[in-house]
Amino acid sequence: MKEFKKYFKLSASAADLYNALTNPAMIEIWTGEAAEMSTEPGSEFSLWDGEIVGRNIEFVQDQKIVQSWYFGEDVESIVTIKLHLDKQGTNVEVHQTNIPDEAYENIAEGWESDYFGSLSELFD
């Protein structure tokens, strides 16, 4: 199992980024795919029309999102996204643990291009 941790800088407020990451209508805008999302802890979610599925664990408005991503029936990967406001926008800390070795490259590339590449295009 592997771990991914990286910081991304976006020129958007923490509130706008939090909304883009938790509001299903906004998620569909920047992903171009169907999304199911709720900020209710314990609720299930689905992103990229079911490519990423899991359970929401914790939300701190405009600051933090914690989710469990499912890899098959037996593996759960914990994703923590923290939003840190600064003068030019928001620094986003992404930390994902328990990533299956065979999925690591795809996950790392997905964070770079699909997630934060798309969010950067949305806000820049």
Check whether 73 has a pLDDT greater than 80: no
CB-CB neighbours of 15 under 10 Å: 14
CB-CB neighbours of 45 under 10 Å: 20
Tokens of 102: 């065979």
CATH number of the domain to which 116 belongs: 3.30.530.20
What's the whole-model pTM score?
A: 0.94
| Number of domains into which the chain is organized | 1
- Residue 98 pLDDT grade (very low, low, confident, very high; cuts 50, 70, 90): very high
Q: Which helix H or strand E contains 19, and what residues bound it? A: helix 14-22
Q: Choose between 64 and 86: higher pLDDT.
A: 64
Residue 62 structural domain: 2-123
- Residue 72 pLDDT grade (very low, low, confident, very high; cuts 50, 70, 90): confident
Write out pLDDT tens, residues 8-61.
999 999 999 999 999 999 999 999 999 999 999 999 999 999 999 999 999 999
Query: Of 118, 124, 120, nearest to 29 (Cα)?
Result: 118
Residues above pLDDT 70, as percent of the chain: 100
